[in-house]
Amino acid sequence: MTESFRRSGEYPQGDNQQPAYPQQHASSPVNPEWPPPPAYEPVAPVAVEPGTTVWPGSGQGGSGSGGEGHGGGGGFAGYPGAPEPAAASTAVLMAEPVPATEAPAAAPKKRAKGPLALLAAVAIVAAAIGGGTAYGIQELTGKDTTSSSTSTTVVPTAKKGTIAGVAQAVSPSIVEINATSNAGSSTGSGVIITTSGEIITNNHVISGASSIKVQLSNGKSYTAKVVGTDSKKDLALIKLENAPSGLKTATLGNSDGVQVGDDVVAIGSPEGLTGTVTSGIVSALDRDVTVSTDESQSQDQQSQGGSGQWPFEFGGQQFNGDTGSSTTTYKALQTDASLNPGNSGGALIDMNGNIIGINSAMYSAASDSSSSSSSAGSVGLGFAIPINTVKSDLASLRAGGSDS
């Protein structure tokens, strides 16, 4: 019986001594008679994956599998043994959890927010820059709302890139202008640029006029007054009196980005046919066009009942009559879009619906006395003042213009 007992238990090391390896499970309460834990700091915790913290051990499992006893680490259960080499395995932490401020898992969460916060900051800065740019444009073009863009798409998405889409989007911003003087009357076109009723047109359309009537695309008419003129650029700014609310303003584009061959649309009131739409391409850039600055030329046009062409010079030749001795030359966009008397002051538009020029001069074979009636009409030789020239002149026009 004694031998059997010793084989199934532990061999004593002496009389009245406890077994060298007590049968104590790691989860059992600590025996108060056991010696106190060693007086050194516990080994620092090691994080192996988010949410799991472990203590370095001596290579012995906490439950005794593969070890010599049940306590693991070479000591009694619940107390770590002497430090082991760095290659030792790890055992799951059974002591007090690490404070939240020391938890390694918190750092990745904070870092994960970094890119999002950076993107948000960039978005805020971009919005601020965009707002500042829009404000700057507004200050340059007046206190009223003025659409000015280099890449805005005004045309509805379903009709983007189509003539019908451009006409639908821009036609409400194009008006017909009837100027009357003692010599007669003339018809031209204009472009609404502010919600308060500012309209850009050619100087020769309203020069010398005693009264100006403007007809909107909805057929309603209003009187207008001249704000400023610049005969050297053949530009004028007029403004509706008692302008209605809800005016549709045009979007002024960037004529510097125009290229030869670009598709364009022209909208105006040729021969009094309000809202006429034609199309073509940009035929050439930076054409030197010479026009008259003499007010009497406008009166001669009016005396012909508005059917007279505005005379201009191009390539050393004069068209539509004599420009006179007082002239000015400007750089123009050339287009083959059909332009006729009454298109002056109207819009030349890109396929995104942005105004890129103000139509100012056009040649028609009907103006030559030698031409027969069958050859009358546009021959695809028209010119427009680049819209960037117009934008740079707006402040001067609002102040009365260079002719004041």
Residue pLDDT, tens place only, 58-84: 444 444 444 444 444 444 444 444 444
Residues linked to residue 281 through DSSP beta bridges, in sequence order: 263
Q: Pick the residue with more confidence: 211 or 149?
A: 211
Q: Pick the residue with more confidence: 238 or 117?
A: 238
State how far the Cα of 342 lies from the Cα of 271, in Å rounded to an integer: 5
Average pLDDT in the 221-248 region? 96
The answer to whether residue 265 scores a pLDDT higher than 90 is yes
Average pLDDT in the 329-357 region? 95
Q: How confident is the model at residue 200 (pLDDT cuts 50, 70, 90)?
A: very high
pLDDT of residue 311: 79
pLDDT of residue 318: 79
Contact residues for 88 (Cβ-Cβ < 8 A; gap 6+): 56, 57, 58, 59
pLDDT of residue 323: 79
Average pLDDT in the 114-127 region? 49
Indicate which residue of 171, 186, 204, 360 is catalytic: 204
Q: How confident is the model at residue 292 (pLDDT cuts 50, 70, 90)?
A: confident
State how far the Cα of 294 lies from the Cα of 296, in Å rounded to an integer: 5
Q: How confident is the model at residue 183 (pLDDT cuts 50, 70, 90)?
A: confident
Q: To which residue do tokens 């107390």 refer?
A: 79
Q: Which of 253, 265, 286, 88 is nearest to 167 (CA)?
A: 265
Active site residue 15: no
Active site residue 286: no
| H or E element that contains 141 | helix 106-141
What is the value of pTM for the model shown? 0.62
Indicate which residue of 173, 344, 360, 396 is catalytic: 344
Average pLDDT in the 168-178 region? 97
Average pLDDT in the 373-398 region? 85
pLDDT of residue 54: 56
Average pLDDT in the 271-290 region? 94
The answer to whether residue 397 scores a pLDDT higher than 80 is yes
Number of Cβ within a 10 Å radius of residue 378: 22
Q: Which of 358, 399, 388 is nearest to 137 (CA)?
A: 388
The answer to whether residue 156 scores a pLDDT higher than 80 is yes
Indicate which residue of 230, 234, 350, 393 is catalytic: 234
Sign of the alpha-carbon torsion through 333, 339, 341, 342: negative
pLDDT of residue 370: 44
Name the least confident of 119-128, 197-206, 328-337. Answer: 119-128
Average pLDDT in the 171-186 region? 92
Residue pLDDT, tens place only, 352-366: 999 999 999 988 765
Burial 256-282 (b: 16+ CB within 10 A, else e): eebeeeebbbbbbbbeeebbbbbbbeb
The answer to whether residue 31 scores a pLDDT higher than 60 is no
pLDDT of residue 132: 41
Active site residue 144: no
pLDDT of residue 233: 94
Q: To which residue do tokens 């890129």 refer?
A: 356
